[in-house]
Amino acid sequence: MPQTPQVNRRIVLASRPLGAPRAEHFRLEEQELPALAAGQLLLRTLYLSLDPYMRGRMSDAPSYAPAVALGAVMVGGTISRVQASQHPHFAPGELVLASSGWQDYAVSDGTGLRKLDAQMPRPSLALGVLGMPGFTAYVGLLDIGQPKPGETVVVAAASGAVGAVVGQIAKLQGCRAVGIAGGADKCRFVVDELGFDACIDRRASELEQRLAEACPQGIDVYFETVGGAVFDAVLPLLQVHARVPLCGLIAQYNHTDPAPGPDRLPRLARTLLTKRIRMQGFIIFEHYAARFEEFLTQMNRWLADGRLKSREDIVEGLERSPQAFIGLLQGENFGKLVVRVAEQ
């Protein structure tokens, strides 16, 4: 077992961005690690998950979760190894799912840790397809979207952590799956590798017309992850009794002003009313107790059968996290974005 380290590198929130985050909103610091007290353990971060919700935590606007304080470590889910332990239930060498944040090490009292199989061939999957984003896709699509065989399911950010799982589960339910993604390479991957029926490049012109061609029967389930121009193109294509799980609005996360153009609310409200559409927002942390174990069993089965694929975009080194996160908000990631902080 490696020696107990003395120094921790961590990335803190240096200032709150207005608009898109930039490098100066983060600061890399070094900090001495305290000695462990009874009941504590030291976690070594192996993988750090980078996710869109972190943009919300950088802001102090009211939200469903508290903001990261200025000078505090950026929040984030991690796969960590127990490096040293004064805790009766954790032994050095064990692998856990933790929320250590953007840092090399974290001292924990064991609260909220989930033990993982230390022999897992790809532990980082517990941050993606087998973790929070995969679970979001599973609950949002099956419970809120309620897709039926033969229906058309549309999802944007379709090559990403949530979208890729939404479309693949839609196919497993016997639906037509149509993705929207940023660029030809991502669209090719979504159709050729993930098995969607079609994928539309959100950056090319005439989005609404091309989406209409890909959805000749209209849209029964639109799994909303982006908002903005994509939602404008989707809205007229929604069918009577369509379901819209409202999962995320990444196109708006860096906005400081309302979107330009006419007020869209009357058109949205009229469409929801006249087509009897159900649009439901959800935040995944409310669903773990009821559904997570079932999700893991089902997803592991689909992965083992080769019916579900997962692409990761792995960035090397904690110090690259800010740049990688800034890129995530601009569509630069291709697959679930994960930082490899240390070798397994």
Binding site for ligand NAP (CB under 6 A): 51-53, 133, 136, 157, 159-163, 181-182, 186, 202, 225-226, 228, 230, 247-251, 282-284, 328-331, 333, 336-337
Identify residue 17 by its one-letter amino acid code: P
In the complex, the smallest distance separating the C-beta of residue 160 from ligand NAP, rounded to whole angstroms, is 2
Is the Cβ of residue 73 or residue 162 nearer to ligand NAP in the bound state? 162
Q: What is residue 160's DSSP assignment?
A: S
For residues 80 and 159, which CB has a smaller minimum distance to ligand NAP in the complex? 159
Q: Which is nearer to ligand NAP, 92 or 281 (CB)?
A: 281
Helix (H) / strand (E) element for 207: namely: helix 207-214
Q: How far is the CB of 195 from ligand NAP (least distance, A)?
A: 17
The nearer residue to ligand NAP, 41 or 132, going by C-beta atoms, is 132
Question: Which CB atom, from 105 or from 253, has the smaller least distance to ligand NAP?
Answer: 253
Partnered with residue 80 across adjacent β-strands are 45, 96
Q: How far is the CB of 45 from ligand NAP (least distance, A)?
A: 19
Q: How far is the CB of 35 from ligand NAP (least distance, A)?
A: 37
List, in sequence order, every residue forming a beta bridge with 192; answer none if it has no partner: none
Could you give the CA distance from residue 175 to residue 242 in angstroms, rounded to a whole number? Answer: 14
Q: Report the alpha-carbon angle 113-119-120, nearest 5.
A: 70
Block residue for tokens 């397994």: 344
Contact 66, 77 (CB under 8 A): no
| Shortest spacing between CB 194 and ligand NAP, in angstroms | 12
Q: Which is nearer to ligand NAP, 41 or 234 (CB)?
A: 234
- Shortest spacing between CB 286 and ligand NAP, in angstroms: 9
- Contacts of residue 338, defined as CB under 8 A and 6 or more positions apart, other chains included, come to 47, 48, 49, 50, 124, 127, 128, 312, 313, 314, 315
Cβ burial of 279 (10 Å; 0-12, 13-18, 19+) is: middle
